[in-house]
Amino acid sequence: MRRPVARKLSVLAVSAAVVSVGAAAPPAAQGTAVEKVPVAVGYGGAVASVDTDASAAGIEVLRKGGNAVDAAVATAAALGVTEPYSSGIGGGGYFVYYDAKSRTVHTIDGRETAPLTADSNLFVENGAPLAFADAVSSGLSVGTPGTPATWATALDKWGSKRLGSVLKPAERIARDGFTVDDTFRTQTASNETRFRYFPDTAKLFLPGGQLPVVGSTFKNPDLADTYAELGKKGVDAIYRGDLGEDIVDTVNNPPVEASSGWNARPGELSDKDLAAYRAKLQAPTKTSYRGLGVYSIAPSSSGGTTVGEALNILEKTDLSKASEVQYLHRYIEASRIAFADRGRWVGDPAFEDVPTKELLSQKYADSRACLIKDDAVLTSPVAPGDPRSPSACSEGGTAAPTTYEGENTTHLTVADKWGNVVSYTLTIEQTGGSAITVPGRGFILNNELTDFSFAPANPAVHDPNLPGPGKRPRSSISPTIVLDRHNKPVVALGSPGGATIITTVLQVLTEFVDRGLPLVDAIAAPRASQRNAAQTELEPGLYNSDLRTQLEAIGHSFKLNAEIGAATGVQRLPGGKWLAAAETVRRGGGSAQVVYPAP
């Protein structure tokens, strides 16, 4: 049921009584399974992720006195075991941290980088761009991993535990095993052909040459040993040590099954690339929305600028009083426009002149918002505007299509008893990454470099997302933390899903802030995703509803997408309580846990 939304933040911090799904998970003894529930309320801190074992790893660290950063790294490491096709030390991500003592938000750009030898023709062969499928399962697609550096940087700056300590739960899960579920088997099956190209991947993820059986125990002793080595030696084992040498050898000489006939094009990663890598500490993006401060990640990700611009476009529309059709129409059109600007202006700021401040200005958003009509739909691809010289209702450039991004990543959200919060999205790009496992190390390498444009998205204009030496490919990752007028947390959230991450975060935020849904219901609500394309993607709950017919009457066109994203979030409640929320159904449902459940 919809309910009116008061503009006072005390109302946003809803009581546990509004929660309609699930219950708080009880504390788990070490080594015991915890029931997967999508919402939990209690004290001492909270963790929400897609996986029960991973959330429990974070809770274990919180219970032992660790803070939100310690728990976030522990949860991420465990996801590298149980969600190895979406995350792991072979990938990268973006980390957003709220410091309760100073009431400030900080971020880490842990995005992978192209080799120092790369140029704009990285994916051009014989004068033409490679087919995406040919590029993905190759050494060419692998960027310098950023996840280990992200963990080390976060712990050094804000953590209270050593890396070896917070890796212990994940090391234990890898050595003792976790229970295979339908999602893990399905994701393995969808990658079976690719996995068989690479003997080390097939040996690990197709035990005995077969798909893993639901209910069986999956162990990864190689990854357990890798985590133990990282805990002992630190991440220099990757960036200046033997682990890094193994990564370089694997990228440059992909170990292919000879009988497969697969051409796994070699990359050009070097020891210099690993030694030169740095996780970047940088200022967050900030957008004011309904009196709230919305903080996210700045470029190289387009998440903060694109979600922020869309929120600014929606700022002057009272979505709390709009009908469901009016709300969805405005949300879809704002997404369409923001994606048009994203494609033209956002890339790695170390290489591109990205107008971040101007993209997030209310003046620019107002100049774009007037393109939206209540009785008509914009035609995609919409042309970008010029944020440095905004002109009302103008489209100041040549339209370019939105390039493809892999849709499987993972997100975790953590809060601790001191009020610190982490929103962290990490990835190896598409499900299964490059499909190349580092021999004897137990983890898959990313295919993040395929997030670059293989060729200019539109030859008539400069493409800010072409490859370059040491350049970070544009991302859509959007870990977000929302603060009230006193700079205290209201909610934090994020999602996997490639380019749909942006629309998922935007929709969950507006459902929660404007439409008054409890956080778990905002996460569960059926989604729409418009990314400056001819058709808007709808999940079945909207595609099969009367709302679709009413939106089509305005001029919208739709196509079905079975599942969009898999969000998690935490919400600050009165009296020192936290609410953790995760998916109810998507990707098999998520796991929300708290240290001490409330009665």
Q: Which of 18-32, 290-304, 368-382 has the lowest mean pLDDT?
A: 18-32
Q: What is the pLDDT of residue 423?
A: 98
Reduce the secondary structure of 428-472 to three states and give it as a string.
Answer: CCCCCCCCCECCCCCCECCCHHHHCCCCCCCCCCCCCCCCCCCCC
Q: Give the tokens for residue 438.
A: 């580092």
Q: What is the pLDDT of residues 77-100, one digit of tens each?
A: 999 999 999 999 999 999 999 999
The dihedrals phi and psi of 14, each to the nearest 5 degrees, come to -65, 155
Q: Which of 310, 332, 342 is nearest to 378 (CA)?
A: 332
Q: What is the pLDDT of residues 274-307, one digit of tens each?
A: 999 999 999 999 999 999 999 999 999 999 999 9
Instruction: Determine what percent of the chain is predicted with pLDDT higher than 70.
Output: 92
Beta-strand relationship, 536-538 and 558-560:
parallel
Over residues 65-74, the mean pLDDT reads 98
pTM of the model: 0.94
| 300 within domain boundaries | no
| 380 within domain boundaries | no
Would the pLDDT of 6 be above 90?
A: no
The dihedral formed by the CA atoms of 189, 194, 197 and 202, expressed in degrees to the nearest 10: -30
- Active-site positions read 409
| 287 within domain boundaries | no
Half-sphere exposure of 122 (CA within 13 A, CB side): 37
Would the pLDDT of 23 be above 60?
A: no
Q: What is the pLDDT of residue 28?
A: 40
Q: What is the pLDDT of residue 458?
A: 76
Domain hosting residue 74, numbered range: 36-282+404-567+578-597
Would the pLDDT of 312 be above 60?
A: yes
Over residues 385-401, the mean pLDDT reads 79
| 476 within domain boundaries | yes
Which is more confidently placed, 17 or 471?
471
Would the pLDDT of 10 be above 70?
A: no
Identify the DSSP state of 270: -
**Beta carbons within 8 Å of 462's beta carbon, 6+ residues apart:** 456
Q: What is the pLDDT of residue 403?
A: 66
Would the pLDDT of 148 be above 70?
A: yes
Q: What is the pLDDT of residue 9?
A: 32
Would the pLDDT of 397 be above 80?
A: no
Would the pLDDT of 34 be above 60?
A: no
Q: If pLDDT is split at 50, 70 and 90, which confidence band does 404 have?
A: low
Residue 572 vs residues 159, 229, 488, 525: alpha-carbon distances, Å: 21, 37, 9, 21
Rounded distance, CA 177 to CA 382, Å? 49
Rounded distance, CA 492 to CA 515, Å? 17
Instruction: Determine what percent of the chain is predicted with pLDDT higher than 90.
Output: 89
Identify the DSSP state of 51: -
CATH code, domain carrying 255: 3.60.20.40
Q: If pLDDT is split at 50, 70 and 90, which confidence band does 457 have?
A: confident
Q: What is the pLDDT of residue 460?
A: 78
| 249 within domain boundaries | yes
Would the pLDDT of 27 be above 50?
A: no
Q: What is the pLDDT of residue 39?
A: 98
| 555 within domain boundaries | yes
Q: What is the pLDDT of residues 320-363, one digit of tens each?
A: 999 999 999 999 999 999 999 999 999 999 999 999 999 999 99
Q: What is the mean pLDDT of the chain?
A: 92
Q: What is the pLDDT of residues 172-184, one digit of tens each?
A: 999 999 999 999 9
Rounded distance, CA 298 to CA 224, Å? 33
| 449 within domain boundaries | yes
| 432 within domain boundaries | yes
Domains held by the chain: number: 1
Rounded distance, CA 41 to CA 25, Å? 9
